[in-house]
Amino acid sequence: SQQGEEDPQALSIQEGENATMNCSYKTSINNLQWYRQNSGRGLVHLILIRSNEREKHSGRLRVTLDTSKKSSSLLITASRAADTASYFCATVLQTGANNLFFGTGTRLTVIP
């Protein structure tokens, strides 16, 4: 299976702290994307990092990619209660198709 794995499965932090989630995958990728899913809602795209990039920032989000280790991390700085959600990494393979292979997700709870 090409599905990735997120680590940890669940994370609980205090508001204002940083949250780090990790993702590992198995095959060579074209890009890796992070999505957020609020309970009962669809997924929202957060950030995309290409295989030739190592780090990317978007607001309070920082994503790193290490293709040699086939891993990525998502850092949310200065977390807020509204950041409470499930976070998924998804990979797009090098083959050219754009279907996403998702990990199992990290459930983040930010305690006010």
Partner 1 sequence: GAGVSQSPSNKVTEKGKDVELRCDPISGHTALYWYRQSLGQGLEFLIYFQGNSAPDKSGLPSDRFSAERTGGSVSTLTIQRTQQEDSAVYLCASTIMGGSGKTQYFGPGTRLLVL
Among 7, 22, 43, 67, binds partner 1 (CB under 8 A): 43
Q: Is the peptide bond before 8 cis (omega within 30 degrees of 0)?
A: yes
Among 41, 54, 57, 80, binds partner 1 (CB under 8 A): 41
| Residues 83/68, Cβ–Cβ less than 8 Å | no
Among 11, 76, 90, 110, binds partner 1 (CB under 8 A): 90
| Residues 32/23, Cβ–Cβ less than 8 Å | yes
Q: How far apart are CA 70 and CA 73, in angstroms?
A: 11
26 binds partner 1 (CB under 8 A): no
42 binds partner 1 (CB under 8 A): yes
Size of the site for partner 1 (CB under 8 A): 26
